[in-house]
Chain A
């Protein structure tokens, strides 16, 4: 009771107090502009955006419902500074309050610029600008689709340039609104339509004259970007002025700075091409003529050098005859030489052969033997004769025979010196007398 009195006799329930705070807040801050930095930005499957808005010291929970987000030209994200229109709401089950945003805009840069940067970043990260996806442009497209306003300067410029560069090229214009609500749908549908045609073109020129960033917004839309990316037909963009870069330019297979430049890039210069082909053609003919001339000359040259078979045969015959004669001469000389050589060798051989020598030597030896025999016989008989003579002579000289005939030999004793002279003996010397038979010893008596 005491506590109740302190509250002026009124007792709140949680719900009644919460409800009162809610109506207090929602009436006081029905709509307000607020600026701050987004943090903890999240989009659950519901599609609503939940985030916090903070400054240096405070934080408020925020939500932006799906329906309101449709009007956004950019995607909010954490760290982004924004200005927004919101109302405060209190969520009774939790007793927490939050800001419900009706509109958001990036602080500083315009929301279109922001949206451009965001979409560019997103598509780049998805690879829509990758060089790998750029299709090569046909050198000479048989048919070109021009997607642009049917009434603007762009289409006139394109037709003019195309007519100058390549008269007669098939251009199929697909008129679209290039600005306004329906522009991005019309453009992307036009791209899809020409892709689906039976007699499909080989190139699309997507063009628009100059304008502000708002005027070019269709070309900065994701829808058009995706349609260009999906196109099987290569796309050249020529949008605005040289300084304008749109998302479509980044996705396109080739970006031309202006519609005229797009036509210039799309088509080759027909006059130059015809000149080039004629030049090539005459080069071709010229080198062919040269080749033929060279070959003809070579043929003439060769045919001059070509001999008739009869002459070749005759030449060969002459040569063979010559060879034959030379061969015979050489052969004969050779035989002669060998003959002489054999003869000569034979002669040498005959002179030197040992058998003949032996035979001769033997004859000589035989002769000598015979000579020797007769010589010996002769000698022997001579010797015999002489021996006989000598023997006879010797017989005559034998002292015995003298003694026989009455002679004696006197020798002085004792020297037995044969006494030949009487003087040699003195009186009384003993003298030995050898007689035919026996001996005597005597003495000298007188002298």
Chain B
């Protein structure tokens, strides 16, 4: 199965809305689609809500090992 990404979830959500609006679905299909659609929208919003601001700096130590530390840009 294709890895669920924000973009694919958003596209599928749009697709489901279009299908729902076309009104050609049976009730079972509509309910299924609705659940999937709500799942996608939650998935997308969850990603967007991860507001932890992460700006780091990747540097190499004198011994050559990589080190990540907060980036001070102010």
Chain A interface (Cβ < 8 Å from any Cβ of B)? 138-140, 145, 150, 155-156, 159, 163, 167-175, 193-194, 197, 270, 273-274, 276-278, 280-281, 283-284, 287-288, 290-291, 295
Contact = CB atoms under 8 A, between A and B. Distances in A.
Given A145-B58, A277-B45, A172 B73 contact: no
B34 A288 contact: yes
A283 to B, nearest CB: 5
- Highest count of chain A CB atoms <10 Å: which of B48, B50, B53: B48
Contacts of A193: 58, 60, 66
A173 B71 contact: yes
Contacts of B45: 274, 277
Interface in B1-47: 5-7, 10, 13-14, 16-17, 20-21, 23, 25, 27, 30-31, 34, 37-38, 41, 44-45, 47
B48 A274 contact: yes
A171 B56 CA distance: 6
Nearest to A291: B30
Given A140-B5, A270-B48, A277-B45, A173 B57 contact: yes
Nearest to B37: A284
Contact of A138 (B7, B20, B27, B44): B7
Contacts of A276: 10
A277 B39 CA distance: 12
B48 A174 contact: no
19 contacts: A139-B5, A139-B10, A150-B57, A155-B73, A159-B55, A168-B50, A170-B56, A171-B55, A172-B55, A174-B59, A193-B66, A270-B48, A277-B13, A277-B44, A281-B38, A284-B37, A284-B38, A284-B41, A287-B21
Nearest to B44: A277
A197 B56 CA distance: 14
Contacts of A150: 57, 71
Contacts, number: 102
Contacts of A283: 17, 20-21
A145 B59 CA distance: 12
A170 to B, nearest CB: 4
For the complex of A and B, list the 3 residue pairs with the smallest distance between their C-beta atoms, beginning with the closest.
A139-B7, A287-B20, A140-B6
Nearest to A147: B58
B20 A288 contact: yes
Contact of A277 (B5, B41, B55, B57): B41
A197 B53 CA distance: 21
B51 interface: yes
Contacts of B61: none
A416 B48 CA distance: 182
A280 B41 contact: yes
B54 to A, nearest CB: 4
Given A139-B7, A167-B53, A194-B58, A273 B17 contact: no
Nearest to A295: B27
Given A172-B56, A295-B27, A273 B16 contact: no
- Highest count of chain A CB atoms <10 Å: which of B5, B41, B52, B53: B41
B51 to A, nearest CB: 4
B65 to A, nearest CB: 11
B68 interface: yes
Contacts of B30: 288, 291
Contact of A159 (B10, B48, B50, B73): B73
A155 B58 CA distance: 14
A150 B72 CA distance: 10
A286 B59 CA distance: 51
